[in-house]
Amino acid sequence: MTTYRIRIFGDPVLRQQAKEVTELDGALARLVATMHETMYEAAGLGLAAPQVGVQKRLFTYDIGDGPVVMVNPQVVEESGEWSYEEGCLSIPGLSFEIVRPKLVTIRGLDLDGNEVVLEGDELLGRVFLHELDHLDGTLMLDRLDPDTRKLALKAIREQDLRAIAGERVGSQQRL
């Protein structure tokens, strides 16, 4: 099975705004299949296209019920608050307690172009919001308070993220 190389913090593609998907074709289906393989190989719960260098608005996830893809996803509704220790496949070795909405409803397309509405509570809601951020060039570091962010950037500078990208560091879930 082919997999993609996961882009690591510092790669400019992670900071760019991804573009709407306009063609739901065989090439997109192949991209999604390879993203699923990449996500499983990296033991991630979710993976957004920009994380494999593709500037398209789609992400995949699997929180234990099989692989799902959402194309051109957008938030319909969000409510509540939930604190969770987030990790990111593109920022290996680091994880942070981040508060975000608890219940999240998103709308998007499946690979056949059907509209799909999904509701995610707690972990699934967190996966949605984390992956949606990737589509806008936003990383979990941007969700930290300024002091924590400063410490995080220092930690990133002091370690070789590329070297530890393949290791399973800590027990946090990576998105």
DSSP 111: T
Stretch touching Zn ion by CB under 5 A, among 21-29, 56-64, 84-92, 118-126: 84-92
Give least dist CB 46 to Zn ion, A: 7
Q: Is 14 in the site for Zn ion (CB under 5 A)?
A: no
Q: Is 135 in the site for Zn ion (CB under 5 A)?
A: no
Give least dist CB 175 to Zn ion, A: 5
Distances (CA, A) of 74 to 9, 55, 102, 108: 24, 16, 16, 6
Three-class DSSP category at 156: helix
CB 4 within 8 A of CB 38: yes
Q: Which of 77, 78, 131, 158 is catalytic?
A: 131
Distance CA(119)–CA(137), nearest Å, equals 23
Exactly one of 88, 94, 127, 156 binds Zn ion (CB under 5 A); that residue is 88
Entry field: residues in the chain: 175
Please identify every residue annotated as catalytic: 131
The residues binding Zn ion (CB under 5 A) are 88, 175
